[in-house]
Chains A and B, each alone.
Chain A
């Protein structure tokens, strides 16, 4: 039985299409279309700006934090000294105190190493408090802290942290007596610095006159519960579709819906490695979207879906 050989130039692959330049044409004013579209988009954006404006809830200053949630500031400072806060146990890129997340045997988080060094106890508490060394009580507390062994330091801070947790409303004034060393004085010193408005500057400008890196004050603020409490009150929590929302009744970043979606469902919603797992999944899906034209089955799917018949109602003749 003989087979008919089709010339190579006549073979049609799964994504073959005729040359668009071979079809009959009609007048089409691209420039006019663009200008009209530009005017329409500009008018829509201006009208929406006039009608809906845009959200701008002021940032929380560390001073506001100290005034609105002083007990949280004291608890956070104590946690930094005890090494129990998120920053203190984070791992790369801030420190080596934690393992970070892993994707199976691979830890992408550890690969680059520590590139943004953060030592929470010293950076957020001890070093800023040295500016208060003129105060005898603080100076004495700093000397006592510096003279103690790391184990002793941790023991004091952990004991005070536990005691704060048991006190009504976490109020430092209602903490049961105990051996807390200099920790209560140090924690109250941080509260005083924050309340004075000086702490932000000490954290952002200590290494440079130009304080353009807000990493440390943000890490300290995020170690407390005040920031999250405010966010959750506005439906911005991680399990409330998180960062794709923004304050007020504004659309936020709806284009991040798929990324945020995975955090809402198992196994990601219960995984300790959810962040890297969601990232890996999204990278795979993104590569898949880019490569649709070369994925068998997917590249011919639109032909079977038939939606194209709504676009091209008449077959060209």
Chain B
């Protein structure tokens, strides 16, 4: 029986320099430890307005699932099947709910100035998700293969053609629009929403306007506020300022 160590038991020399190790460290550092799915939130997260972000995400799940069911029968299925028509109705109303909750969420975040504290990219990805969703919903109306899609496509073509977009994005080509609606745009919106959620978890929920960090308000020697152990600081990322990079690198917090 061989006594030679296997690859897995061999001591690793300079293992932290491998691409895999670097990727792992980068992924782990995207969000502070314990903040991917925390069971505690800052005490100021206590308003109904916070519900609309998660409601928006939940309705997106209903949109996607009902849309996936519609793909089973094909583009024309819902015209001839009562089940298909019902699923189409669920898809339509979940889209309406998705936009309603998204717009309330957006306005809520505007009034909270939720971009404060280096959360600019969080706001920007949210706005991009909104515009991506507009395009996805629009292509959905184009592939209904009914009178609405006839009228909407023949009207919308003029704006798109005038902007030079119609040359590549032909709203009257049902085949092209079906692929954009069920494949390309959902992937793009899904990626943007994923990045948005990552940034939300990375930075945490924005503190109230005018709030000071508790440790700034305390006198020297007074105890820290009650709560769980602080998570580790996020690793330097693309959305951090140079000051913050310096602080996170040295393990200090603002």
Contacts and interface: CB of A to CB of B under 8 A. Distances in A.
Nearest to A46: B90
B13 interface: no
Contacts of A50: 86, 89
A22 interface: yes
A54 B85 contact: yes
B160 to A, nearest CB: 8
Given A212-B174, A243-B151, A302-B112, A20 B207 contact: yes
A25 B113 CA distance: 21
9 contacts: A15-B116, A44-B93, A56-B144, A57-B146, A213-B170, A251-B96, A303-B113, A316-B208, A317-B214
Interface stretch (B2-10, B22-30, B126-134): B126-134
A71 interface: no
What are the 10 A-B residue pairs with the smallest beta carbon separation, nearest first? A212-B175, A17-B117, A293-B115, A20-B204, A49-B89, A112-B167, A18-B213, A108-B164, A293-B120, A275-B162
B172 interface: yes
A28 B204 CA distance: 13
A44 B203 CA distance: 32
Given A30-B38, A40-B58, A214-B174, 7 more contacts: A23-B225, A34-B54, A56-B144, A230-B147, A255-B103, A308-B111, A316-B44
A55 B203 CA distance: 43
The winner among B138, B162, B209 for most chain A CB atoms within 10 A is B162
> How extensive is the interface on chain B, given as a class?
35 or more
B93 A48 contact: yes
A27 interface: yes
Interface of B: 32, 35, 37-47, 49, 51, 54-55, 57-59, 61-62, 66, 78-79, 85-86, 88-90, 92-94, 96-97, 99, 101, 103, 108, 110-113, 115-120, 123-124, 127-128, 131, 134, 137-138, 141, 144-156, 158-159, 161-164, 166-168, 170, 172-176, 178, 203-217, 225-228, 230-231, 243, 246-247, 253-254
B106 to A, nearest CB: 9
A214 to B, nearest CB: 5
B150 A23 contact: no
Interface string A157-197: 00000000000000000000000000000000000000000
Interface of A: 8-9, 15-31, 33-34, 37-38, 40-42, 44-46, 48-50, 52-60, 90, 92-93, 100-101, 108-109, 111-113, 115-116, 210, 212-215, 218-219, 221-222, 227, 230-231, 236, 238, 242-243, 246-247, 250-251, 253-256, 273, 275-276, 278-280, 286, 289-294, 299-303, 305, 307-308, 311-317
Nearest to A24: B225
Taking each of A23, A273, A294, which has the highest tally of chain B beta carbons within 10 Å of its own beta carbon? A23
Contact of A291 (B37, B124, B178, B216): B124
Nearest to B154: A222
A60 B147 contact: yes
A117 to B, nearest CB: 11
Given A22-B213, A40-B55, A289-B127, A312 B147 contact: no
B111 A218 contact: no
A294 B120 contact: yes
Given A15-B120, A227-B151, A291-B124, A312 B208 contact: yes
A220 to B, nearest CB: 10
Given A30-B37, A37-B54, A54-B85, A215 B173 contact: yes
Contact of B58 (A25, A37, A212, A317): A37
A218 B211 contact: no
A311 B112 contact: yes
A50 B89 CA distance: 8
Contacts of A236: 151
A44 B97 contact: yes
A275 B160 CA distance: 8
Contacts of B175: 210, 212-213
A15 B254 CA distance: 14
A30 B88 CA distance: 30
A59 B89 CA distance: 18
Given A30-B37, A44-B97, A215-B173, A23 B120 contact: no
Contacts of B112: 302, 308, 311-312
Contacts of B158: 275
Contacts of B92: 49, 54, 250
A116 to B, nearest CB: 6
Given A17-B116, A93-B167, A290-B124, A312 B40 contact: no
